[in-house]
Chain A
Amino acid sequence: VVAPLLFVCENNLYAMGTALKLSESVTDLTHKASSYAITAVAVDGMDVLAVEAAARDAAAAVRAGAGPYFLECRTYRFRAHSMFDAELYRGKTEVEAWKQRCPILLLTQRLAEQGLLSGAELEGLEQQVAAEVEAAVAFAEAGTWEPVEDLTRFVYSERRTP
């Protein structure tokens, strides 16, 4: 019996602040997955269409009963890990170089070249997304703190059924 299981690894090359190549001898993660005798495939994680195609193949294989499948999307993290991260572990030129391959940038360029997305449509989409994020922030800011009486709720289940 093989598990219908798809592992998706978003490899952005760093832990919080340590490069994979600094902490691991084998940096090709598909080699590690292959050691479990499961299908392991890497894809350019900056290419939305390539990821879509690879994910479709992976899902089809798992659904067909091929067993566990490992899909590594090779990508990058543009921003700091958190607001406390001074990014001492990497150079700005490296980050800028990866930004040239931004997945949104690449996809919109491709769509524009093929006449599937106009400048006005792209601008509209970006405004829509910005408004959605602003609304989410406003919703969170308007929220109330959890009442202190609830502090110890759900440490243990309150369900009575077995």
Chain B
Amino acid sequence: MNGDAGAMRQLTYREAVREAIREALHKDERVFLMGEDVGRYGGCFAVSKGLLEEFGPQRIRDTPLSESAFVGAGIGAALGGMRPIVEIMTVNFGLLAAGQILNNAATYLHMSGDQLHVPLVIRMATGGGRQLAAQHSHSLEGWYAHIPGIKVLTRRYHRCSRDGEGHH
């Protein structure tokens, strides 16, 4: 905003998400981003484009193709005092990390009686309309909303999916 009260900016989802991640990285040095191809490639949907150059390889981290492993590493980092943003390339791949998300990230706080906090953000692209075929195009946010212990944030209008991605 530039002081003009009522003025509204038009952004794509991509720009909005990148801006939010940049803001979080600037505000808090505990924040870092990791996931498949988020760094050198620039992000599968170009959301993290330019962040590696701006924040360096310590805070923008490319991971192996192992969702269970890098979501688990994100949970560990969160338990250790960091504020990780973990990117899963598509919501479908999130199923490979479902055990980490459901049994660990969502459950530690309750099982530990308030001792183990997991301040972790997981970002997933979701929805069809990008010609990415059936294994990359589901909208599973409703499934994730069934898990006690995590909060699901998603776009309001699914008609907009052609303009960008939603995120959790």
Interface residues of chain A, those whose CB is within 8 Å of chain B, are 1, 153-159, 162
Contact = CB atoms under 8 A, between A and B. Distances in A.
B117 A157 contact: yes
Contacts of A156: 109, 149, 151
Main secondary structure of the interface of B (DSSP, over half): loop
A155 B114 contact: no
Interface residues of B, number: 12
Main secondary structure of the interface of A (DSSP, over half): loop
A140 to B, nearest CB: 16
A159 B117 contact: yes
- The 9 A-B residue pairs whose C-beta atoms are closest, nearest first, are A154-B114, A154-B110, A155-B148, A154-B109, A155-B149, A155-B110, A157-B117, A157-B109, A154-B113
B81 to A, nearest CB: 13
B47 to A, nearest CB: 23
Interface in B71-123: 109-110, 112-114, 117, 119
Contacts of B149: 155-156
Interface in B113-168: 113-114, 117, 119, 148-149, 151
Nearest to A1: B58
A154 B112 CA distance: 9
Contacts of A158: 114
Nearest to B110: A154
A153 B109 CA distance: 9
Interface in B16-51: 28
Residue of B28, B110, B119 most packed against chain A (CB within 10 A): B110
